Structures are given as structure tokens and as C-alpha cells.
Amino acid sequence: MSEQTIQNDLYSNPVSILDKYTCYSLGATTVRDLVAQKVLEGVPLTVNLGKKPDVLIVDKDKHVVVFLEFKVPSELDSAKKIEKAVKQEIHVARDVSAKIYVVSDGTSFYWYNPYTENRIKDENGNEICTEIKPKKEELKLADFINRVALTISATNDCLLKTVDCDPTNLAMKIGGILKNISFATPKDSLYTFVELFLFKYLSDIGILKGDDSFNAIYTSYNKVTEEEVLYKYLYGPRETINVLFPVAPDKTTIINGTIFHAFKDSKGMYRCNGTDAKTFHAILKLFYEYEKANGPFLNISRDFKSKLFETFTKQEKSKQNAGKYFTPLKIVQGMVNMVDIKEGMSICDPACGVGKFLLEASMKIDSPFSLQGGVVTKRLDLIGFEKEMDEKGATSGYDLTTILAKANTLIYYSNLFKDNNNITDIQTLSQELLNKMFVSSKTICGTLDNLDENKYDLILANPPYYQSAIITSEAKSKGYYSEGGSGVEGLFLEWIVKSLKKGGTANIVLPDGIFNNLANQKLRDYIIKTCFVEAIISLPLNTFFNTPKKTFVLTIIKKENVNDTQKHPVFAYLCNSIGESLDVNRFDIDDNDFGEAVSKYVHYHKADDKTQLPRFLADAYAQDGKLKFLPISSFKTGDDWFIDNRWTDEEKVQLGFKEQANAMTVSEMQSFIDTVCDEMAS
């Protein structure tokens, strides 16, 4: 069998690999022919263009990813012959900027790094021999080629382990640098870190390439001044990011306005403001050193953005962050697991923060978003609302949380962006997944300005909770809010109930005032009238690091008919832990009452007849003192919904929730004072 016959048996001409790569079996075609026919781009004109590759795998940007050299089996039947075959064309693979060089007889495949001429190895040090057969398991093959191409370099022959990385310590070091410059409030520092993190991240996943890449900018320090490097970044990669991720109608994208400044003076010399150039260099050096120790940012912790926001903003004591209590990922994931998520649903978060509720919900659907032929197909309709203007009418100029939400989406769907990384596709994905999914308003009331009844199948939310006479007055003037809810959270709860479709579900984090404040009695009665109350889960104090308020998860289903009567009991659970420490560190711990609550609620929720407890839950009820099934009759008019009071002090002592004492604890006193203040303000 000839080399050409082997090629033709494996590859028709051309073969598409998952609409990401194209495999060309070339025969007598030269590199010059391919460049002239515009099949290839990015090939240096200084190389020998008369070479005739056997097979090339090319990405959507027409860059060579894999260079395959075929031999008959007798030419690869010894180590010496394999070495000879490899040396024959590996320099050509390097000349055409191929990421991977492979020698094969159609059965065995030997993968090499064209730049080091060494075998490519997996994360365990084993030499890679993966078959390249495009007509077989193309998804698996495309993912593997992509993974190898992203990690192999002139200094690395091994795949990196696919473990989630959480560069929070890196963020703290950068925060320390930024504190030393004049503009660096915690918010400005976060803006800066997010921008430069995305610069590195987009480079690592192959979206920023060539002169726009992190490596190109960083290595230029060897040739030019710090001021010129900063100038090259501002008018190179930064401009490319703005092109790839266009500004939405709400004026947000994935980066904010210019943080650093550099310019050319009248003599053509590069200048900058203050220490901008040195600070920029110091930050890039930290990213470079982080990569040397940990590898590129290919697998970022999904909770990274939220933890990062909290770490920076906890240093800022201004009222600007009032009510912005970002939800721990374990709470988000548990709340998502409690509800049914199906293809075609419309899901809303009216106070979306960094977008975790929507993004985690989308992970419950296989391939919720795809791009084919320049068109995005959505199997879920997701919408998140945020607002920038505070109650005094002031705006910051850029909505940080919306920027973080969009950046977060890049992390959740990095493969989708990596696999469609030409300019047009990135812009399309940016418009459909970022700009349409997250919307930031510049009004005092934000989400509360508009209310479309019966619109969403599912609402997941942790709305802001604080008192604001201005927002309350402005919102109620719209005519949507007639149920007398107290505080901003009361307005959001009414918005949520009215926005749900009939039969739709809402899972919401709410403060204690909703459940025990007399001013919210009318609102609670409205919920009983229009919804089935499925669950109330009591969360421990300090579930959110920057609020001492007592909080609960409320699960409701909107009735198809307001005359329907709830017959099944309310699932009530008392939590003392959530699976992470309740301090600023938020370390993972084994103790997780909330996880238990979610698991048992899911069994209850799926029961055919919730008026008859499944055996599992009957046993659980007997064994788990933190669980109670409360009759809906105990939530009648005049009763509060503060489920903690449904456990006696003796029961709480037995459960370890309360010490034997007659006096209030400090936390209980704080919660009591908050409740009294809320009632006085309403």
C-alpha cells in the first residue's frame, strides 16, 4: 500500500472535523499553491513554499494546526526509521507554523512538538499516540487537538492536567500593586484586574493571537521601553478586545473605560501617566510567573469571579454596595438543583449580579448554546437584569457587575468561544450570549421599572434587601406594586410572583423581614393566594459574608388557577452550615446542612403525591430533627412564616443550634434589632 493510498483511505478531500478544523489530503499540492488559493494564511513568506505536505489540518482562521507526514509501514518499523522519518519534514511543519507534527503509517500515530522536535506527552508523561481519523469520533478528536494545540509551546512538550485553577492569590498580589497608585479604589482595582485577567485568558484559549497575544506583548519588554509596551497594549490587544466584544446598548462590554494611559509626544517618544507603565509591567510579570508555576488559564474555577468581587469589595465600605450580597456557589447550585430545568424554558434573574444563577441553570441542559453557520441556537432563554444608578441618581460610568457577569459567561462557555474564534463568530456569540443575556439599566429602580406579567417559566434570584424610601416611592408610582411589601426586597418579591408564568417556579433568597415583618403580611397573603408554597429553608447567619441578616430560601410555584387550594405541606428545613466556612475565607468544609436539605427536598418535590410522604422522607423526618413538614394551614393570615420558631428551644439545643440559655445571643439580638428597624421604617 502506497503513502497516497493510506492518505486517501483516511481522508477524503477535504474532511471537516466538527466544523472547527478542515483536513486536506494534498498529494502534489505545494504550500505556495495553498497560500495562493487562500487556503492557508499566516505562513511566513520567508519559508520554502515549494514543499508538498501530505496532510494538513487547518483551523477556521486558515492557520495550520496539525502537519501529518505519511509513510508506509516498513518505513516506521524501527526506532531508527521513525527518527529518520520525523526529521525529514519536521522543519517544514515548523516553517508553516504548525502547532503539532505527526508521522503515521495509517495505523500508528507519533505526535511531535515541531519547535522542540520532542515527542508530545500526556499529563502523566506518556507519549501520545492518538489516532487522527476525522471520520471517527470527530468531537473527541477536535477537543483533543484543541487541547494539545493550546498547551504545547517552544518550552513545553506535555499536556497540562485539566484541573480547575483559582488564581485568587494572584488577584490579591495584583490588588496590592494597584493600591499604590492614586486611582485605585477597590472597585477600580477590580476593573483593572478583570481587564488584564481577560487579556491573559483570551490569549490562553486562543482568541487573542499573534501580536495581540499576551506572549507577544510580554516578550516585547526585551526590545522596547515599558512606556512603549503599554502603548502597544492599549492600541493593540485592547482595541481587538473591543472589536471582538462590541458594546451593548446598555454601554457595557467585558472591559470598562481606559484604566492605564500612554501616548506619543510631539517628538515621537512614548509617555505615560505617572507610574502606569511600571505598574502594568509588574502585573504582567505576575501573570507570567503564575503561568510558569501553574500553567495557562485553561480551567478557571466557576466561582472565581464572584469570590474575586467579594474579596475586592469587602474593602469598600461605601453605601454603593448596599444590598449586593453575592450568593455562594454552593447555595446557587443547591437552589438550581431544587427546580426542574427543561429545554425551551425562559429563565430570569432580576438582580443577576455576576450571573451565577443563570449560568448554573444552563449547565443542566446539554449544549444549551451552539453556533452553526453563523447562527446561535439557544435551548434556553436566559435573561439577567442589573442596575447601575444608585438611589441618589448617581452612576459610575460602567456597571461592574454586568461586566463581571459577561466575563463569567466567557469562563462557563470558553469551549464555545474557543471553537468559534474568528472575528465574526466571536462578535455573534458576544451579541447573543453576553449582550442579550445580561442587561444593565441606568435608572433608580432598575428592574422594578418594568413588569411583564406571566412571562418566565423559572425565576432564580437573590434580590437586594435594604430600606430605600426613594426607590419604594418611585417603584410604587409605576402602578405595578399593590401588595404593600416592605423594603426593596418586598418590591422584588412582588415583581417575581407577578412575572412568573402560571405553573412557573421561583426559588429566591430572602431576608427574615419578609417572613416575620407585620408590614409584609399582605404580601405573604398574596403569595398564599397566587402560589403554592413548596419550601422554606432557613440559612445560617453569615451565609453572605457582608451581611449579618438572617436569610431563607423560599420556593414557590404559581397556581394555574387562584382558586386552587394547596393540600400538601411545606418542606421546612433548619440549616446550621452550607458546606463552606462562614467567614471571609469561605473554605470548603464537610458539614453541609443545606446540601442535606436540597437532597431531601428533591425527593419530596418528585413525589407523585406530596400529600402522602414518600417512605424515604417519612424515615428522614423521623431521623432528621432539622426537617419538618408544616401544614399550609399554619401559614394562614396573621401567622408569620419565620420557620425557626417552629422548633422549640429544647429542639434547637438538641440539634446543636442553640446553647442552653435564657438570654439572646449576639446574632439573635442583631437579627431582632434589624427586624424592629425594618418595621419602624415601613
**Distance (Å, whole) CA 247 – CA 241:** 11
pTM: 0.77
Q: 15: which strand partners? A: 23
pLDDT at 675: 66
Residues in the chain with pLDDT values less than 70? 1-13, 18-19, 135-137, 139, 161-164, 180-186, 257-258, 303, 305-325, 389-398, 545-546, 584-585, 614-618, 620-621, 638, 659-682
**Distance (Å, whole) CA 181 – CA 279:** 8
**Distance (Å, whole) CA 658 – CA 669:** 14
Contact 279, 237 (CB under 8 A): no
pLDDT at 368: 93
Give the torsion through C-alpha atoms of 660, 663, 667, 673, to 10 deg.
Answer: 150
Q: What is the DSSP letter of 646?
A: G
Strand ranges for 314-415 from DSSP E: 346-349, 369-372, 375-378, 381-387
Strand ranges for 575-663 from DSSP E: 627-630
15 CB-side CA count, 13 A: 21
- Sequence-distant (6+) residues with CB within 8 A of 49 are 30, 31, 32, 35, 43
Buried/exposed 188-225: b ≥16 CB within 10 Å, e otherwise: bbbbbbbbbbbbbbbbbbbbbbeebbbbbbbebeeeee
pLDDT at 678: 64
Nearest alpha carbon to residue 143 among 397, 419, 430, 378: 419
pLDDT at 193: 85
**Distance (Å, whole) CA 660 – CA 652:** 9
pLDDT at 581: 86
pLDDT at 159: 85
Nearest alpha carbon to residue 260 among 246, 245, 277: 277
pLDDT at 321: 47
pLDDT at 183: 57
Residue 459: all three cell numbers together: 425565576
Contact 634, 641 (CB under 8 A): no
Contact 380, 437 (CB under 8 A): no
Contact 217, 237 (CB under 8 A): yes
**Distance (Å, whole) CA 87 – CA 324:** 60
